[in-house]
Amino acid sequence: KAGVTQTPRYLIKTRGQQVTLSCSPISGHRSVSWYQQTPGQGLQFLFEYFSETQRNKGNFPGRFSGRQFSNSRSEMNVSTLELGDSALYLCASSLGSGLPGYEQYFGPGTRLTVT
């Protein structure tokens, strides 16, 4: 079974631009979560989608948004990029939501650099 895939793997953007990252979960997984990883803040939860609905949201500004499609694929968008948005963005999929005992499986991440 194929793992979680994320595209693109690397991205360089200029401050003020917007960016869209894509994630395809493991087949059969309906929950997709997004995390931001930086050296200073570590791994931080952004949001989770299940059945095209946002189930949970972390403490990030409204510039960070996401959506999920009927095939469970998910995208996250960051508008008006700031230098501090430079990070590794990780997508994780899980069998279900509201089932906290299930582990999440992570993709390789998208490395975003904002200049």
Which residues in this chain contact other proteins in the complex, by CB under 8 A? 4, 6, 31, 33, 35, 42-45, 48, 50, 55-56, 58, 90, 92, 94, 96-109
Q: Which is nearer to other proteins, 35 or 64 (CB)?
A: 35
Q: Which is nearer to other proteins, 19 or 91 (CB)?
A: 91
CB of 16 to other proteins, least distance (A): 28
With CA atoms as reference, report the closest residue to 92 among 34, 50, 51, 37.
34
